[in-house]
């Protein structure tokens, strides 16, 4: 069996309150805050930190890794390698499979599957799957109230005494290609979010759970991780899938939405909250499809470990809106310039 | 022309320093021809894996810098556990907590951008007991 041997989470300490963003645009209200990366951080530095923690927590040296897979929808590069950079900085060597997964937030589970398959067929012993994103929205847009930064890494390997959770079952569902999109150098394209939620998101989540039920008789899960760019999407999905609202594990309310990273951060949170033998259901979403995994918890890490996911959700250093714009490189370069 | 950061890639990404064989002085991240301390020229340097942990020996806080830098910016002489001394930028360090003797750890960051490519190396942040193991 394949299991999660370790994990690491890195959430930047800086926070901007939604009220601060709203205030800058003459709007009132807004509860919650977003994790913001500083000027000298990017998806490589965020991802590397989560990866180093995952290896340190599992006490596995980097030269044991047979794969480093990184999922991100915000690297900003059209050609380059985030996974290669992270692998190199980690110190991997030799016969290592390195791959970047992106363009759809589904990529994070494509990476998990690829890694699990490589272990299952005996090609590699350990593989690291990293989700790292720093989403930047057009100032003043509604996306600005959810886009955040963070990273998480999951170390997979053959089941052993230190295994945190064992992979039980997985399923995929290919759906429509409706969803968020972005051309090179652009902020998000125009998207009817409500239409996407109803005709792509909910359809795919129902579809993948249906696929999963053909392989697994389980119909209730102790902890549920759902990819969702906003909490209201997750709540709609829970209702549709007839899942208990309290089973949802989500960092959205505390740190915002960080694309591929959010899925793995929430999986880490679920591990910390779980007790042995409980089952975690985790479902990804992105334009083009969804994937679902069920994990049986073996030895829960608990909240005592250093740099737990839970501890990093705590409020950090509050920054002002001008600082937020500077960190995200969003100051106009010319009068009236489009940022 | 080959960018210098390509040649220094390994040192920058894996916290590898260059130790003078005659006096033990450690250079990071540059690989030098002469030793800054004992003046050996050409000096013989050996690569050493630096520890990610150290403490601040002295510092200055720069208040006004070109806009590509965050200011105020604290720059410190840091002594790493194995005795190597190097200059490092401090990040996530408030003016109140900064003092001589502050325990710090290496923190991988973007140093600068070269034609759209982010170039990385290690800066230093106050040690917050986060699991950390570069190039283990
Ligand atoms: Zn010397």
Give the 3-state DSSP-derived string for A164-215, with helices as H, strands as E and coil as C: CEEEEEEEEEECCCCCCCCCCCCCCCCCCHHHHHHHHHHHHHHHHHHHHHCC
Of A39, A49, A91, the CB nearest to B136: A91
**pLDDT over 60 (residue A53):** yes
Can you tell me the mean pLDDT for B20-27? 87
From chain A, the residues in CB contact with B111 under 8 A are 40
Contact yes or no for B130 and A80 at CB 8 A: no
Weakest-pLDDT range from A55-64, A234-243, B126-135: B126-135
Listed in sequence order, the residues at least 6 apart from A153 whose beta carbon sits closer than 8 Å to its beta carbon are A7, A8, A9, A47, A50, A51, A53, A54, A128, A129, A130, A131, A264
Q: B75 — contact with chain A (CB < 8 Å)?
A: no
Higher pLDDT, B29 or A168: A168
Specify the CATH number for the domain of residue A129: 3.40.47.10
Looking at the fold, whether A293 and A184 belong to one and the same domain comes out as: yes
State the nearest Cα–Cα gap between A30 and chain B, in angstroms: 27
Looking at the fold, whether A83 and A220 belong to one and the same domain comes out as: no
**pLDDT over 60 (residue B114):** yes
Looking at the fold, whether A7 and A152 belong to one and the same domain comes out as: yes
Looking at the fold, whether A92 and A131 belong to one and the same domain comes out as: yes
Structural domain including A125 reads 2-164+305-337
Residue of A nearest to B12 (CA): A89
Contact yes or no for B135 and A91 at CB 8 A: yes
pLDDT of residue A334: 62
Weakest-pLDDT range from A41-45, A209-213, A275-279, B43-47: B43-47
Of A13, A62, A89, the CB nearest to B108: A89
Looking at the fold, whether A149 and A22 belong to one and the same domain comes out as: yes
pLDDT of residue B115: 84
The domains located in chain B, with CATH, are 1-50 (no CATH), 51-129 (2.40.50)
Looking at the fold, whether A311 and A186 belong to one and the same domain comes out as: no
User: Could you tell me the CA-to-CA distances from A12 to A46, A61, A151, A244 in Å, in that order?
Assistant: 8, 25, 9, 31
Looking at the fold, whether A102 and A211 belong to one and the same domain comes out as: no
Looking at the fold, whether A176 and A244 belong to one and the same domain comes out as: yes
**Residue-level length of chain A:** 339
Looking at the fold, whether A145 and A229 belong to one and the same domain comes out as: no
pLDDT-derived band at B135, boundaries 50, 70, 90: very low
| Number of structural domains chain A divides into | 2
Tens digit of each residue's pLDDT (9 = 90 or more) over A77-101: 889 999 999 999 999 988 999 999 9
Looking at the fold, whether A84 and A207 belong to one and the same domain comes out as: no
**pLDDT over 90 (residue A205):** yes
Tens digit of each residue's pLDDT (9 = 90 or more) over B53-109: 999 999 999 999 988 888 899 999 999 987 888 889 999 998 899 999 999 999 999
From chain A, the residues in CB contact with B14 under 8 A are 88-89, 91
Looking at the fold, whether A115 and A173 belong to one and the same domain comes out as: no
**pLDDT over 50 (residue B131):** no
Looking at the fold, whether A35 and A125 belong to one and the same domain comes out as: yes
Can you tell me the mean pLDDT for A134-148? 95
pLDDT of residue B68: 80
**pLDDT over 70 (residue B132):** no
**pLDDT over 80 (residue B5):** no
State the nearest Cα–Cα gap between B73 and chain A, in angstroms: 12
From chain A, the residues in CB contact with B123 under 8 A are 40
């Amino acid at each position: 069996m394949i299991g999660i041997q370790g994990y690491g989470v890195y959430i930047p300490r800086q926070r901007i309150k939604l009220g601060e963003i709203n205030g800058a645009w003459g709007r009132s209200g807004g509860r919650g805050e977003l994790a913001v990366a500083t000027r000298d951080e990017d998806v490589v530095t965020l991802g590397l930190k989560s990866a180093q923690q995952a290896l340190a927590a599992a006490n596995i040296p980097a030269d044991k890794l047979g794969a480093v897979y990184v999922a991100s929808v915000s690297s900003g590069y059209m050609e380059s390698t985030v996974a290669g950079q992270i692998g190199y900085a980690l110190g991997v060597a030799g016969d290592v499979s390195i791959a970047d997964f992106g363009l759809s937030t589904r990529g994070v589970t494509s990476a998990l599957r690829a890694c699990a398959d490589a272990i299952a067929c005996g090609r590699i012993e350990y593989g690291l799957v990293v989700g790292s994103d720093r989403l930047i929205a057009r100032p003043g847009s509604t996306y600005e109230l959810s886009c955040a930064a963070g990273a998480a890494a999951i170390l997979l390997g053959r089941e052993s005494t230190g295994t945190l959770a064992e992979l039980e079952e997985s399923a995929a569902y290919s759906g429509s290609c409706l969803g968020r999109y972005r051309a090179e150098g652009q902020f998000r394209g125009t998207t009817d979010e409500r239409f996407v939620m109803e005709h792509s998101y909910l359809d795919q989540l129902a579809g993948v759970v249906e696929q999963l039920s053909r392989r697994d008789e389980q119909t209730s899960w102790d902890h549920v991780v759902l990819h969702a760019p906003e909490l209201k999407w997750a709540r709609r999905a829970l209702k549709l899938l007839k899942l208990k609202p309290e089973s949802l594990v989500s960092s959205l309310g505390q740190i915002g939405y960080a694309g591929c990273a959010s899925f793995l951060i929430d999986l880490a949170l679920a591990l910390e909250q779980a007790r042995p033998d409980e089952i975690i259901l985790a479902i990804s979403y992105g334009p083009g499809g969804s994937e679902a995994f069920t994990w049986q918890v073996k030895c829960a890490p608990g909240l005592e470990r250093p740099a737990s996911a839970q501890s990093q959700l705590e409020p950090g250093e509050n920054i002002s809106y001008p600082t937020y714009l500077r960190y995200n490189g969003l100051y106009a370069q010319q009068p009236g310039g489009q940022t | 022309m080959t960018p210098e950061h390509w040649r220094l890639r390994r040192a920058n990404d894996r916290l590898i320093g260059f130790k003078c064989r005659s006096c033990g002085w450690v250079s990071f991240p540059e690989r030098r021809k002469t030793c800054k301390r004992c003046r050996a020229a050409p000096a013989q340097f050996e690569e050493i894996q630096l520890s990610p942990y150290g403490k601040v020996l002295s510092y200055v806080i720069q208040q006004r810098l070109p806009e590509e830098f965050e200011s105020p910016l604290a720059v410190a002489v840091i002594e790493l556990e194995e005795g190597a001394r190097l200059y490092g930028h401090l990040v996530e360090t408030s003016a109140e907590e900064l003092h001589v003797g502050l325990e710090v750890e290496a923190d991988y960051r973007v140093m600068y951008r070269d034609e759209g490519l982010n170039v990385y190396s290690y800066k230093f942040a106050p040690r917050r007991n986060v699991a950390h193991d570069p190039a283990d």
